[in-house]
Amino acid sequence: MKELVKVGMAVCHSLRMSKNGELLGNHVDQASFRSTGAELTKGENMDIKLGGKSYTILKQNEFDNHRVTQSVVVQDETGTKLAFVKGSPESIRALCDGKTIPKTFDGTLRSGAKLGIYQLALASKKLDPSTDVSVLTRDDLESSLGFCGFIHFQNKIKSDTGKVIKELQGGDVSVSMITGDNVLTGICIAREAGMIEARSPVLLGRKKGEEVEWVNVDNDQVTNEPYAGIDVDLALTGEAWNTLLINDPKYAKGIFTHVRVFGRCNPSDKVSVVTTGVELGFKTLMCGDGQNDCGALKSAHVGIALSSSEASVVAPFTSLEKSITSVVDVLREGRCALSSAFKVYSFYIIYGQLESYLQTIAAYMFISFTEWCWVFMDGFWSLLMAFSLPLASAAPLLSPYRPTASLLGPRTMFSVCGLLAWNFFFLTMALVALNNQDWYQCRKWTSEDVSNVLVVGDNYETSVLFIVGGFQYMASAVALNFGYTFRASWFKNYVFVSLVSLFMIFQFVATLVPSSFSCIWRLNCDNEDAVRLVTSKAPMAINNPFNTTVMPVKFRWILAIIMVINLITLCVWEYFFVNGLLFKLFDFKKSSSPRFPQSEKSVVMA
């Protein structure tokens, strides 16, 4: 390593030393600094020791996203003042004296970028000892430089990156990269991560004059301008993207979904790319970890910060693991939350309509439900089912479909209307079965009887309506608990399964076993067990001509069988018909190519 390059790597950074002696700052600066073996000390001025020499930092300019450079002025022990500038190779070349640029500059830059190497360039110049650095402007400091050399960093993607990209593509989500690095480096990383197939041709658009020239990345041959709809991966530099937007915005937006890599992008370029995705109607997610990602994180529908720095302030989500696995987690949880919200919405529509059925039939028959029937129907069942139904966890894998977001869409309406129709059918069957019993006599009410709500609940009609109609509240919730591919398996919603199982046991026990327990609801009850627990603990005789609401054993089993078949039918309708056939007919279908989704319109920028 050249001595001048080594000194530049040791001093040109924005690192600080913490109280406990740890280096704080950019991880690239840390890696560069540690590789030199230098030591950072604290004093009146920040001193750096390297190879037995000491360098005092006189002036520092932080990294500028638009200049793509950072600079420093140091003074060694002899009083010599040196200025070092570090940044992107393209920016450094523009600041250097052309005579100092080696002929191998472009070749080295291109070959390194194609190998996925993160490249920085370093330049320097000697200042006059009398120079007052306090008044030295950045423009003066970063001019007339001499090229020192390249600094190469090996880009290693995390082990889980490929798996995440594959899962996103399997979820019909288009993934693109927006990077400040060389576009060729981005293409190499994209291929390694699986964003671009290893042998897939890539056309690179780069600015040439006032136009954009397209070349094949693998053979450097100039090609014809790609057209919208072409099945090929594209890459663009930030300058080329802006040129296309200015010269032909319709064309730029037409090829947007084919661009896998946007390279050499400054913060405003990143905002432009994300904003274009939003304008095209894509549900856009952006993840980033640096200050230069803040604008894009705010512009996207969803922003995920992969660090605890400035990005975490503007992004609504911050990854605790600092990993892109959080992107999949957010999408899985988001789809699960949307699906769960519609489950509760559908349940309450069904609950309200079932209540209307039961109330209408009860009014026609001049009957009413008893106190504890109302408590369970309007209290325990409705509230606890709605509370526990959305507690399901997200599905472990990202679904290739998106849940419906339409309150009155075909999938929502087919689900609700189908469940209601089946419930009404089985409720009618139960009433017909009651009417066909030899022992059943329809009670004729007097006006005096109807006016007393404590009297009009003790009859077989109320018992049947409560047993079957009440069970349908729970059966409908059980059917809606199927989450298709957005929620974990139905049995993993442990709170819901526990509650619905408990209530169903109550319902079957009260239906099949006449006892003081069934008398809570005044069904399958005779005068020996009749206690009206809500209004009084004292026994209250059954108020009907038969002095009982106990039904024959055979009919009780008929009701139990109707309830079981009702439950199975609702589950089959929801699981196989609504979540199966109708979902594929009316909701977004997975596109034929995971790289170019046309249906879901979701895109992730990283």
Which 3 state secondary structure label does DSSP give 212? strand
Task: Judge whether 168 lies within some domain.
Answer: yes
Q: Are residues 282 and 424 in the same domain?
A: no
Domain limit, last residue, from 154, 170, 198: 154
Q: Could you tell me which residue, 237 or 45, shows the higher pLDDT?
A: 237
Q: How high does pLDDT run on average in the chain?
A: 87
**208 DSSP β-pair partners:** 211
| The pLDDT of residue 409 is above 60 | yes
Task: Judge whether 15 lies within some domain.
Answer: yes
pLDDT confidence band for 600 (50 / 70 / 90):
very low
Q: Could you tell me which residue, 207 or 320, shows the higher pLDDT?
A: 207
Predicted pLDDT of residue 587: 52
38-72 pLDDT per residue, tens: 988 765 567 899 988 999 999 999 988 888 999 99
| Distance from chain centroid for Cα 363 | 48
Instruction: Give burial (CB, 10 Å; 0-12/13-18/19+) of 130.
Output: exposed
Q: How far apart, in whole angstroms, are the C-alpha atoms of residue 602 and residue 224?
A: 29
Predicted pLDDT of residue 404: 83
Tokens of 200: 């897939």
Task: Bin 601: left if φ > 0, else alpha if -120 < ψ < 50, else beta.
Answer: left
The Cβ of residue 73 has, within 10 Å, a number of other Cβ atoms equal to 21
Q: Are residues 288 and 365 in the same domain?
A: no
Q: Are 35 and 9 in contact (CB under 8 A)?
A: yes
Task: Judge whether 598 lies within some domain.
Answer: no
544-576 pLDDT per residue, tens: 777 888 999 999 999 999 999 999 999 999 998
Predicted pLDDT of residue 604: 61
| The pLDDT of residue 151 is above 60 | yes
Q: H or E segment at 54?
A: strand 53-64
Query: 434-468 b/e with 16+ CB inside 10 Å = b?
Result: beeeeebeebeeeeeeeeeeebbbbbbbbbbbbbb
Q: How far apart, in whole angstroms, are the C-alpha atoms of residue 161 and residue 417?
A: 44
Task: Judge whether 544 lies within some domain.
Answer: yes
Q: Are residues 170 and 135 in the same domain?
A: no
| The pLDDT of residue 11 is above 70 | yes
Using alpha carbons, list the distances in angstroms from residue 171 to 218, 255, 261, 509.
Answer: 29, 21, 20, 45
Task: Judge whether 277 lies within some domain.
Answer: yes
Task: Judge whether 56 lies within some domain.
Answer: yes
Q: What is the CA radius of gyration of the chain?
A: 36
Predicted pLDDT of residue 155: 75
Which amino acid, one-letter code, is at 308? S
Q: Are residues 146 and 173 in the same domain?
A: no
Tell me the CATH number at 130: 3.40.1110.10
Q: Are residues 432 and 505 in the same domain?
A: yes
Task: Judge whether 108 lies within some domain.
Answer: yes
Domain limit, last residue, from 119, 154, 189: 154
Q: Detail the DSSP E strand segments found in 160-314.
A: 174-178, 202-208, 211-216, 233-237, 259-263, 283-288, 302-305
| The pLDDT of residue 588 is above 50 | no
Q: Are residues 139 and 245 in the same domain?
A: no
Using alpha carbons, list the distances in angstroms from residue 75 to 49, 154, 205.
Answer: 12, 31, 44
Which 3 state secondary structure label does DSSP give 545? coil
| The pLDDT of residue 274 is above 90 | yes
Which amino acid, one-letter code, is at 89? P
Total domain count, the chain = 3
Range of the domain at 313: 161-323
- Among 76, 90, 156, residue whose Cα is nearest residue 120: 90
Domain limit, last residue, from 139, 154, 169: 154
Average pLDDT over residues 188-210: 89
Q: Are residues 58 and 104 in the same domain?
A: yes
Task: Judge whether 205 lies within some domain.
Answer: yes
- Among 408, 420, 429, 421, residue whose Cα is nearest residue 351: 420
Tell me the CATH number at 276: 3.40.50.1000
Q: Are residues 149 and 193 in the same domain?
A: no
Predicted pLDDT of residue 342: 93
Q: Are residues 143 and 183 in the same domain?
A: no
Using alpha carbons, list the distances in angstroms from residue 340 to 153, 170, 355, 570.
Answer: 46, 22, 22, 18
Q: What is the percent of the chain with per-residue pLDDT over 90, rounded to a whole number?
A: 55
Instruction: Give burial (CB, 10 Å; 0-12/13-18/19+) of 410.
Output: middle
Task: Bin 412: left if φ > 0, else alpha if -120 < ψ < 50, else beta.
Answer: alpha
Q: Are residues 500 and 542 in the same domain?
A: yes
434-483 pLDDT per residue, tens: 999 998 887 655 545 666 666 788 889 999 999 999 999 999 999 999 87
Q: Are residues 274 and 203 in the same domain?
A: yes
Q: What is the percent of the chain with per-residue pLDDT over 70, rounded to a whole number?
A: 91
- Among 383, 549, 590, residue whose Cα is nearest residue 467: 549
Q: Are residues 373 and 276 in the same domain?
A: no
